[in-house]
């Protein structure tokens, strides 16, 4: 086939231009269903799909789904007990007790911004027929999977690092004094997995005492979330002299016994590593290593998804081009009892 210019003259490419054109053609075909094959080519039925870093946010923080649908804001009330010292209520017979000391209650509110999300997908009959001829690849299913994955990964990132450029939708690791959460920079100053046996014992006693003091000893932690790079080092023996127990099992047992909670969890989270949070959390060197000690309770902290991912029916105006939309609503992570969440940071 000859390619002609506007004057009807044949266009001839130089060897270099021909190589560039071939490279560009391979790039264009790399992400489409038009692929060059020969008579000896077999298209395998199984499709190898892209993978992503995925963790279920509900394993780390409480996530409530379905309450407050179609709201622009969610308001949670917090109740406070107001009363003087117990001793002010002691009565003495024979004295003038006509005026009793009072106990009272007060309430405030925490408003939470709701984010609306929606994305569409579309296809035509040509797209469907081309995809059908190329093998067993289901075009519509692939588009729907891509959109659903976009929602899942977005919710996952908001849960830990918040929504980009929106200070009203914060993630777990973004909490600070502005939301009433304490960020401790002195208790953990190096990877926990590198601590000696003696320092490990001191660490367990110190970190729990710091947490208890932070919440005025009103709660015990249930989850300890660590940067994944540090967590992966906990499989090594806790002691070189007695290499029968890993550091992870020793830490878990210590927390479970001291917190009187056999279900206490130590969980890894890559978002706690400076390499993955540097775009959100500023820090020197390679970024900020973030740890979280928290009480897994909806009344303590929570992420709301008022409307879960919902897809509409596909429709068409001409029976040739089709489209549909999917939508949902979400909030960031809100500490309703900020003292029960304690973050630890150090520059890596």
pLDDT in tens, 96-143: 666 778 888 888 889 999 999 999 999 999 888 887 776 667 888 899
What is the reported pLDDT for 27? 44
The tally of CA atoms less than 13 A away on the side-chain side of residue 41 is 8
Strands 115-124 and 333-335: unpaired
Residue 215 above 80 pLDDT? yes
Residue 338 above 90 pLDDT? yes
199-213, 230-244, 326-340: lowest mean pLDDT where? Answer: 230-244
Residue 248 above 60 pLDDT? yes
What is the three-class DSSP state of 252? Answer: helix
The mean per-residue pLDDT over the stretch 23-29 comes to 50
Could you tell me if residue 9 is left (phi over 0), alpha (psi between -120 and 50 degrees) or otherwise beta? beta
Beta partners for residue 111, in sequence order: 75
What is the reported pLDDT for 4? 57
Residue 1 above 60 pLDDT? no
What is the reported pLDDT for 262? 95
The mean per-residue pLDDT over the stretch 311-318 comes to 92
Q: Tell me how crowded residue 341 is: count the other CB atoms within 10 A of its CB.
A: 27
Residue 168 above 90 pLDDT? yes
Residue 267 above 70 pLDDT? yes
Burial class, 300, CB count within 10 angstroms (exposed 0-12 / middle 13-18 / buried 19+): buried
Joined tokens for residue 259: 């917190």
Residue 56 above 80 pLDDT? yes
- Number of helices (H) and strands (E) in the chain: give both, helices first: 7, 13
Joined tokens for residue 102: 């009072």
> Mean pLDDT over all residues of the chain?
87
Highest mean pLDDT among 12-21, 173-182, 236-245: 173-182
Residue 270 above 50 pLDDT? yes
Residue 241 above 70 pLDDT? no
The side-by-side arrangement of strands in the sheet containing 307-311 is: 115-124, 321-330, 307-311
This prediction has a pTM of 0.83
Residue 182 above 80 pLDDT? yes
What is the reported pLDDT for 198? 82
Confidence of residue 328 (pLDDT cuts 50, 70, 90): very high
Residue 149 above 90 pLDDT? yes
Collect all residues with Cβ–Cβ distance below 8 Å to 229 and sequence separation of at least 6.
191, 273
The mean per-residue pLDDT over the stretch 315-340 comes to 95
Residue 303 above 60 pLDDT? yes
Percent of the chain topping pLDDT 70: 84
Strands 265-269 and 223-227: parallel
Collect all residues with Cβ–Cβ distance below 8 Å to 66 and sequence separation of at least 6.
305, 306, 307, 308
Rounded Cα gap, residues 238 and 245, in angstroms: 6
What is the reported pLDDT for 78? 87
Collect all residues with Cβ–Cβ distance below 8 Å to 22 and sequence separation of at least 6.
none
Q: How many residues does the chain have?
A: 348
The tally of CA atoms less than 13 A away on the side-chain side of residue 189 is 5
What stretch of H or E contains 66? none
The mean per-residue pLDDT over the stretch 285-304 comes to 93
Collect all residues with Cβ–Cβ distance below 8 Å to 342 and sequence separation of at least 6.
181, 182, 184, 210, 211, 214, 215, 221, 292, 293, 294
The mean per-residue pLDDT over the stretch 202-220 comes to 94
Residue 97 sits at φ, ψ, to 5 deg, of -110, 30
Confidence of residue 281 (pLDDT cuts 50, 70, 90): confident
Percent of the chain topping pLDDT 90: 57
Judge contact between 127 and 321, C-beta under 8 A. no
Residue 24 above 70 pLDDT? no
What is the reported pLDDT for 214? 96
What is the reported pLDDT for 28? 45
Residue 322 CA to its chain's centroid (Å): 33
* Residues 225, 228, 229, 232, Cα dihedral to 10°: 90
pLDDT higher at 324 or 88:
324
What is the reported pLDDT for 22? 60
Strands 288-294 and 223-227: antiparallel
Residue 26 above 90 pLDDT? no
What is the reported pLDDT for 97? 62
Strands 301-305 and 63-65: parallel
Judge contact between 262 and 252, C-beta under 8 A. no
């Amino acid at each position: 086939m000859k390619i002609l210019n506007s004057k009807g003259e044949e266009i001839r490419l130089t060897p270099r231009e021909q190589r560039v054109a071939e490279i560009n053609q391979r790039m264009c075909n790399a992400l489409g269903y038009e692929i060059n094959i020969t008579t000896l080519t077999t298209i395998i039925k199984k499709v190898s799909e892209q993978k992503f870093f995925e963790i279920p946010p509900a394993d780390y923080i409480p996530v409530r789904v379905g309450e407050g649908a179609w709201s622009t804001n969610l308001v949670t009330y917090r109740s406070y007990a107001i009363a003087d010292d117990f001793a002010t209520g002691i009565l003495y017979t024979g004295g003038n007790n006509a005026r009793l000391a009072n106990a009272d209650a007060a309430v405030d509110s925490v408003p939470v911004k709701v984010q609306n999300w929606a994305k569409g997908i579309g296809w035509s009959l040509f797209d469907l027929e081309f995809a059908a001829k190329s093998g067993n690849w289901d075009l519509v299913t692939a588009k729907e999977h891509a959109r659903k994955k976009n929602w899942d990964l977005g919710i996952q990132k908001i849960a830990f690092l918040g929504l980009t450029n929106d200070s009203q939708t914060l993630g777990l690791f973004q909490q600070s004094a502005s939301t009433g959460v304490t960020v401790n920079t002195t208790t953990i100053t190096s990877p926990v997995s590198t601590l000696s046996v003696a320092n490990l014992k001191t660490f367990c006693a110190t970190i729990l005492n710091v947490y208890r003091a932070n919440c005025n000893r009103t709660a015990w932690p249930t989850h300890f979330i660590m940067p994944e790079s540090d967590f992966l080092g906990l499989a090594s023996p806790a002691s070189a002299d007695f290499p029968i127990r890993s550091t992870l099992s020793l830490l878990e047992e210590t927390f479970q016994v001291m917190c009187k909670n056999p279900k206490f969890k130590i969980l890894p989270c890559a978002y706690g590593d400076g390499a993955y949070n540097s775009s959100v959390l500023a820090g020197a060197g390679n970024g900020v290593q973030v740890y979280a000690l928290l009480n897994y309770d909806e009344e303590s902290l929570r992420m709301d998804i008022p409307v879960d991912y919902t897809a509409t029916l596909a429709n068409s105006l001409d029976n040739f081009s089709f489209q549909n939309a999917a939508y949902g609503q979400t909030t960031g992570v809100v500490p309703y009892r900020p003292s029960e969440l304690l973050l630890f940071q150090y520059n890596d």
